[in-house]
Structure 1
Amino acid sequence: MLRRPAGSNGRFAEHSDLPTSEEVEHPRASRSKAKKKSSAPKISAKSASQAAVDFERERKQREAQRRRELAEEAKKRERRDRAVAKAQAAFDKAQREHDVPAGDIEAERDAVEKRAQDEEARWQKEKTKLTDALRRTRNE
């Protein structure tokens, strides 16, 4: 197994050595490495101006694209609203057309129901009358 001296950035070895006295007394000094100072790249005025023009052109293109998308969405919404209105109108018309025959059928059903009740009442009256007559005849 490879190990390195404790508390250091020393090399890995099979048998790790103890840290040196310098590393123990000044741990940061031995670790510090020369850092490169990076400087920003030089940009010429011409390339900066061109970049600004390119950026502005792209911004205008994005805005135009966004306006086109919004217009397309508005058209789709308008078409959808028209289609919904048309379907609703067709549904309402069909509902009205259905209500007329359904009302007639309901009126006929009520009339038949009344006739059935009247017939049932007539039959009960006649049945009672005939039953009484039959009972009287048997008792004589």
Structure 2
Amino acid sequence: MDSLPPYMRPFYQAILDIFDEMEEELTKEGKSDRVYYGKFEMKKLARAYFKEAEWLNAGYIPNCDQYIKNAIVSTTFMVLGTTSLIGMEEFITKDTFEWITNEPSILRASSTICRLMDDISDHEVSTINDISAFS
């Protein structure tokens, strides 16, 4: 926590508190091991965001493969999919969590489509704004 800039500490603490609360509640049901997978995906998300920040600060433009590999995680599909399963009933097993954290094709494809659609719409908006500036 001390290594984070002051403006990030409340956000990080809130995330820790949420996971602690989930773990406390799930311990009563014998399912506390599920929280590991949520934390695992949250760490992957933080690394993906950090990678994007590094690229931006360095003025680096990743190739398509690099971009998509990182975007699959930074779209948050993986972390949302995993954390949504944490509190579900008995039919969610360790195998389910192992499957989802190994980035199955359906989630990779959904993440890619979502990211590319967002990028296209952002590009269209910025293009319209650029054109409007010259009008």
What range describes the TM-score normalised by the shorter chain of this pair? under 0.3
Q: Which has the higher contact order (CA 8 A, sep 6+)?
A: 2
- TM-score of the two chains, using structure 2 as the length reference: 0.25
Which has the greater radius of gyration?
Answer: 1
- TM-score of the two chains, using structure 1 as the length reference: 0.24
